Structure 1
Amino acid sequence: MGTSLTPEFWRLFAVLFVIALAVVFAAATALDALLLWVRRRRPHSRLSSETRASRAAPAKRKEEPLTRVV
């Protein structure tokens, strides 16, 4: 004998599922806001000028033409 899933079960399942989604969404939003807050508070002056220069994009060198006049 198998048990059938009653309408009461599905109603309770739907309510608990929506509550779980809301909790996950709220937690993700709170953690995202916390991460942004921490990143904004971190002082950028701790990096030395050498570190900043090494992180910058390398300078483009002057391109030479592919063909030469003979």
Structure 2
Amino acid sequence: MGTSLTPDFWRLFAVLLVIFTAVTVVVSAGVDALVVRLLRHRRPAYRLSRTADQQERPLAHR
């Protein structure tokens, strides 16, 4: 005994697909923003800027 897929089924399927796709995009964007915020917060302050004398260090002493 088989059942046929009615137009109501496809309509409901399309609506649920759009809803869950939108929810997935919103949740992933929220998690991404949270991770970026946490990574920026944990970055040490001394790595944000370098002084000129650090950039011009000699490579080797002879």
Q: TM-score range by the shorter chain?
A: 0.5 to 0.7
Q: Percent identity?
A: 51
Aligned residue in 1 for 2:11: 11
Tell me the TM-score normalised to structure 2 length. Answer: 0.67
Structure 1 stretches of 5 or more lacking a match?
47-58, 60-70
Alignment of 1:17-36 (within 5 A): 17-36=17-36
Give the letter for the 2:8 counterpart. E
Q: Which has the higher helix share?
A: 2
Structure 2 stretches of 5 or more lacking a match?
47-58
Aligned-partner SS, 1:2: coil
Q: Quote the Cα distance in structure 2 between the aligned partners of 1:36 and 1:3.
A: 48
Deviation at 1:45, TM superposition (A): 5.0
Alignment of 1:39-54 (within 5 A): 39-45=39-45
Larger-Rg structure = 1
Aligned residue in 2 for 1:68: none
Number of aligned residue pairs: 48
